[in-house]
Structure 1
Amino acid sequence: MPTTTAAASLADERALEGEFALAGARVVLDPAGALWWPSERALIVADLHLEKGSAFAARGVPLPPYDTRATLALLERIVARWMPRTLIALGDSFHDRGGAGRLGTAERESLAGLARGRDMVWIAGNHDPEPMPGIGGLHAGELSIGPLTLRHEPAAGSPEGEIAGHFHPVARLVLRGRSLRRRCFATDGARLVMPALGAYAGGLNIRDAALAGLFAGNYEAHVVGAARTYRIAHHVCLPDR
């Protein structure tokens, strides 16, 4: 395990690979679907939708009950990559208000490990508007740090410096005759909508009116890939059929 200073140095080196300017702040779009803010040593994720599988099972829809485990494992890898001082989840961290109560022992230990030695901030979402019992951390409706405001659902108008989730943007592309649909960041350089990190979260096409209407003019998809993000103009992406 690297020291805190060594880990910070490694994170700074990685940041050079994916820098992006958002409302004047230097941030990094992580190819796993998270956002790293180097100056604040803050890692931002959105829409984990933990315990979505168990929520569907309770309604008679059988889904494999491994989504929480898979989502937390991904988040652990991202945290290990950046070693943040603060970890911020932008709402809908749980799929419903009873989600925290359905967590297994291993999943609770994973959450405790993620919070150990750092500040953990839970932003309220429409699926989890109130603090979840027994998970610790700080809870807020939204959070403003320097030029950026972090919230779950994008606000009306075009507020500069907003980072939000809620819409789970995805981009549809055709490459070498194959149709691909991938999670993406949606941004015009002034505000940004995060992709969903949850294993069962699903997604909304970046060309959908609900997403397109958030941006005053041209905007881009930063499509997540195995090792990097790919910057693509919105009009190159295809609408869903």
Structure 2
Amino acid sequence: MNDHHFSFHGAALRARPSGALWWPAEHLLVVSDLHLGKSDRIARRGGSMLPPYESHDTLARLETELDRTGARRVICLGDSFDDRTAARDLEEDLTLWLTRLIAGRDWTWVEGNHDPGPLELPGTHRAETSLGPLSFRHIATPASGEVSGHYHPKARLGLRGTSVSRPCFLVDSARIILPAFGTYTGGLPSTAPELDRLMGPEARAILTGKSAHAVPMPRRKQKSCPA
């Protein structure tokens, strides 16, 4: 298996190489920041063009995760669509695809800052939700036992004289921040002040890719004070 197994507040979890979080005991798959319709939203606002098939790619990868895990429950941690118009104007084939993925599953849409949740689609809509010892919301708070998204964290590591940057989970004793699952979503470096302040000194970055691999979270370098 290429998952990274870890325990969090008594829950045996797996960080998937795709950026999804899998909780086998609860048959629960958690994804964050799908940002469906991003290319359409950018084109609508006159921005630079992105490849037009990002939503198809995102849903194809999501379907693969559902098939491989056999998930019966799904929580989408907000910003499932890039904005309200993208949710409202989702192409018919994508709407049918999503509806098929939702069918037969306990599916929860958590409200994000880009969208309030796709109200026209099946599923339960919540500002936040909880299951067992864990709480699920879009943006991290001071709570403990929390799973969130929003920041699209990425980690940059030195490798053989060069560096690589990958989307990553950030995990400490209080919280898990998921990477963005959507295609072409960009990311915030783990060295950013917002993430440095949120994550405890023991925080790990679990890198995604061909396999999920945990390393100490890359942090900001502290400026040395003159003597």
Same fold, judged at TM 0.5 (above)? yes
Aligned partner of 1:170 in structure 2 is: 154
Aligned partner of 2:99 in structure 1 is: 112
2:213 maps to which of 217, 221, 230: 230
Please report how far the alpha carbon of residue 53 of structure 1 lies from its aligned counterpart in structure 2 after TM superposition.
0.5
Please report how far the alpha carbon of residue 143 of structure 1 lies from its aligned counterpart in structure 2 after TM superposition.
0.6
Which letter maps to 1:73? Answer: A
Instruction: Report whether the alignment pairs 1:203 with 2:205.
Output: no
Q: How far apart, in 2, do the equivalents of 1:234 and 1:143 lie?
A: 27
TM-score (norm 1): 0.87
SS at match of 1:78: helix
Please report how far the alpha carbon of residue 223 of structure 1 lies from its aligned counterpart in structure 2 after TM superposition.
0.4
SS at match of 1:120: strand
Aligned partner of 1:150 in structure 2 is: 136
Please report how far the alpha carbon of residue 104 of structure 1 lies from its aligned counterpart in structure 2 after TM superposition.
1.3
Cα contact 1:185–1:193 (8 A) shared by 2: yes
Q: Where do 5+ consecutive residues of structure 2 fail to align?
A: 222-227
Deviations 1:53-92 (CA, angstroms, capped at 9, x unpaired): 0000001122222111111111011111101111110000
Which letter maps to 2:150? Answer: H
1:77 maps to which of 64, 73, 76: 64
Q: Where do 5+ consecutive residues of structure 1 fail to align?
A: 1-13
Deviations 1:175-224 (CA, angstroms, capped at 9, x unpaired): 11232110000011331000001112110001111011112322110001
SS at match of 1:207: coil
Please report how far the alpha carbon of residue 238 of structure 1 lies from its aligned counterpart in structure 2 after TM superposition.
7.5
Which letter maps to 2:213? Answer: Y
Number of corresponding residues: 220
TM-score (norm 2): 0.92
Instruction: Report whether the alignment pairs 1:179 with 2:163.
Output: yes
Cα contact 1:42–1:87 (8 A) shared by 2: yes
Deviations 1:139-183 (CA, angstroms, capped at 9, x unpaired): 00001111100000001x3x2210000000000112112321100
Cα contact 1:21–1:189 (8 A) shared by 2: no
Please report how far the alpha carbon of residue 134 of structure 1 lies from its aligned counterpart in structure 2 after TM superposition.
2.2
Percent identity among equivalent residues? 42
1:49-88 map, 5 Å: 49-61=35-47, 62-88=49-75
Which letter maps to 1:138? Answer: T
RMSD, aligned CA: 1.6
SS at match of 1:70: helix
Cα contact 1:100–1:135 (8 A) shared by 2: no
Which letter maps to 2:217? Answer: H
